[in-house]
Amino acid sequence: MVNGEKSLLFWAGLIILSLASIALFSVFWSFRYYLSSNVGTAFLNNVPLIIGGVVFILIGLYMMKSGIKKETPRMPFAD
């Protein structure tokens, strides 16, 4: 999936991505309790959490992408 050496930045991004995914999933999971009542109000109350979760997912993905050190290909007989 990802090739190269993974730095500390990659692992920090993975943790941020995981925590933001769990938070976003819990927001959407809580909507099932509002099916009998007003879903629009529940959605409006959770908009900051949804936007924050999406932003942190994007930040985590960017950190993971930036945290991979590409291996330089060795030229044969370049010594």
Q: What is the 3-state secondary structure (H, E, C) of 15-70?
A: HHHHHHHHHHHHHHHHHHHHCCCCHHHHHHHHHHHHHHHHHHHHHHHHHHHHCEEC
Domain locations in the chain? Answer: 5-67
Radius of gyration of the chain measured on its C-alpha atoms: 20
Q: Which of 52, 72, 56, 53 is nearest to 64 (CA)?
A: 56
pTM, entire model? 0.78
Give tens-digit pLDDT for 40-69: 888 888 899 999 999 999 999 999 999 988
